[in-house]
Chains A and B, each alone.
Chain A
Amino acid sequence: MSLETLTLQEQIDGLKEKKFSSVELVENYISVIEDKEDLNIFVSNDFEKALEKAKKSDGSKKSQEDVPLNGIPMVHKDIFCTKGIKTSCGSKMLDNFYPPYSATVVEKLEQAGSICLGKANMDEFAMGSSNETSFYGAVKNPLNINKTPGGSSGGSAAAVAANFSSFSTGTDTGGSIRQPASFCGIAGIKPTYGRVSRYGMIAFASSLDQGGILAKNIKDAAIALQCISGYDSKDATSIKAEVPNFSEDCESSEFEHVVGLVTDLIHSFGDEDLSKNYGKAIERLEKLNIKTKEIELPNLELSLPVYYVIAPAECSANLSRYDGIRFGYRAENVENLEDLYFKSRGEGFGNETKKRILIGTYCLSSGFYDAYYKKAQKIRNLISSDFVNAFKDVTSVMLPTTSGEAFDLGSITDPVEMYKQDIFTIPANLGGLPATSVPFGEKNNMPLGIQFIGNILEESSLLNISNKFQLGEK
């Protein structure tokens, strides 16, 4: 039996039935990870501690209810603070950062019994769609090493696709869980904004950032999402709402679905393959006897410019904390305090991060605030309202995850072309809506993904339709 290819559910069952031990699981993964080092997936690892924890969990007498992921190895995106373990966020700025505390997501997964094998590479400060902006170099797509795994959670997606773990954590500000999931042929979920605590998750754009899960399938994503969800007093934007039983709901037959379709909009992009795959997805829904309804999202295309005002504006404020003094990179040979700021930030940030800080600074600067930032917030309301209207008639909306398959590393140099990667994923972030990506179809021997967007706090229904769709015909 190849333990590393098992799904999370299979691992939970196998451990329970004592078919294998947690130590065997961890050892198996370590050997796979060492074999595939060239993929550049890990920024750091903690194998020794992982084995220690595995031994402990094998001898644990705790019930599965208390520790649902007891002994299960996993991977964290290197954006989540891990106490005493390097947390770089893919940046030279934080190459020397060993946080004095752990993120709530990290603590919750530890409490659930899971074992972190290592920290996954990512685009610098989660700014990128190809993993190429990482200080540590790009991650390679395990399905084809010349291709990008997507970004910014590219390392997390590649980790699952390369069998480094059955699931991983990721974050999604404009599509950073869903796009890499699609490029690597796996499943991913970004829950409702506020469902998962942002405490200890290094901030990029605070009104858009949301933690979530990448996994081999939707059922596994539901199991792991359950463990990281819930109100956290350390995050003022976290939602005080009960967390449903996602893994049960995922397979329930109780849910009624009406899936919203935007066929005309997809055709308007003029990409035959995109339309074809969307058409096939509709056929699958029909075969599953799931009701559909054509809806309109008239402002969807404005998501891109709106996002590239709001996200950089918020990032320019968030990243002002990197001053070279309290933590992070500190430049040498400086003349005075001002020089320390300028050089530390100039040398510590990569080019994409600088670019976004500068755009944000421009949009927030005197004389431009109303024309850009305020205006973008208004259009954000329009886009969000389109979904509010849509959800009067439908229970979820189906879109492609990306406009195409994983592209060659180094092939996109025009920043706007790169930003267009996220045209279908950004709207869910602007509206705070939960959304999944499910592997469906392929192009040029690389996987494609279909995205489902659900209503606020309706992850159960969203996971249910996504799971039905992924399983296909019975």
Chain B
Amino acid sequence: MTINDETLENLSKLSKIKIDDNLRDKLKEDLNLTMNMIDKINKIDCDQIEELSHPIKDNFNLREDVVSEDINRESLQKTSNKTEDGFYLVPKVIE
């Protein structure tokens, strides 16, 4: 089994997702089924092949570094329900 309780706990920590206890068994089962399917790639010898991370070669068009957006702080912060004086509010982090 690739993904056991310990691995699942570690993945939960890395991805910062709380996993309910009643979901754990089903998640483990599904993740292992998926990893078994994925493991097919380990049988392929492709050491000499280059990686392809982007489907269109040499196509990165960076725009000029000039301010062009009309999006302001106020309109962006409307999407959060906890802001004050232009800041986002979070639980206290410094005692």
Binding site for B on A (CB under 8 A): 96-101, 192-194, 207-208, 231, 233-234, 236-240, 302, 304-306, 308-309, 316, 320, 325-328, 330, 334-343, 345-347, 349, 351, 354-355, 357-359, 361-363, 365, 371-372, 374-382, 384, 414-416, 419, 429-433, 456
Contact = CB atoms under 8 A, between A and B. Distances in A.
Nearest to B74: A100
B94 to A, nearest CB: 10
Contacts of B81: 96, 330
A345 B16 contact: yes
Contacts of A365: 10-11, 14
19 contacts: A194-B56, A207-B54, A207-B55, A237-B56, A238-B61, A304-B37, A308-B34, A327-B79, A334-B91, A345-B18, A357-B17, A362-B31, A365-B11, A376-B41, A378-B52, A380-B51, A381-B46, A381-B49, A432-B55
Contacts of A316: 15
A415 B36 CA distance: 12
Contact of B30 (A335, A336, A355): A355
Contact of A378 (B15, B16, B46, B55): B46
B5 interface: no
B46 A375 contact: yes
Contacts of A382: 44, 46, 49
Interface string B18-57: 1110010011001101111111111010100111111110
Nearest to B15: A361
B18 A306 contact: no
A345 B15 contact: yes
B76 A419 contact: no
Contacts of B35: 359, 362
B34 A355 contact: yes
Given A97-B79, A236-B61, A377 B53 contact: yes
Contact of B17 (A346, A378, A379): A346
A142 B15 CA distance: 38
A112 B71 CA distance: 23
A326 B14 contact: no
B62 interface: yes
Interface of A is mostly: helix
Contacts of B16: 320, 338, 341-342, 345
Contacts of B44: 302, 375, 379, 382
Given A194-B59, A379-B46, A430-B55, 18 more contacts: A236-B61, A237-B60, A239-B56, A302-B41, A305-B38, A327-B79, A336-B93, A338-B16, A342-B12, A355-B31, A358-B11, A375-B41, A379-B44, A381-B46, A381-B49, A416-B34, A419-B34, A456-B56
A351 B23 contact: yes
A381 B54 CA distance: 10
A231 B15 contact: no
B61 A231 contact: yes
Contacts of A335: 91
Nearest to B72: A100
Nearest to B38: A305
Contact of B34 (A330, A334, A359, A375): A359
Interface in B1-15: 3, 7-8, 10-12, 14-15
B17 A354 contact: yes
Nearest to B79: A327
Contacts of A362: 3, 7, 11, 31, 35
Contacts of A429: 55
Interface string B56-95: 1001111100000001000110111110000010111100
Contacts of B31: 355, 358-359, 362
Nearest to A432: B55
A237 B80 contact: no
Contact of A346 (B11, B18, B63): B18
Contacts of A240: 61
Given A326-B88, A345-B17, A98 B79 contact: yes
Contacts of B82: 325, 330
Contacts of B46: 375, 378-379, 381-382
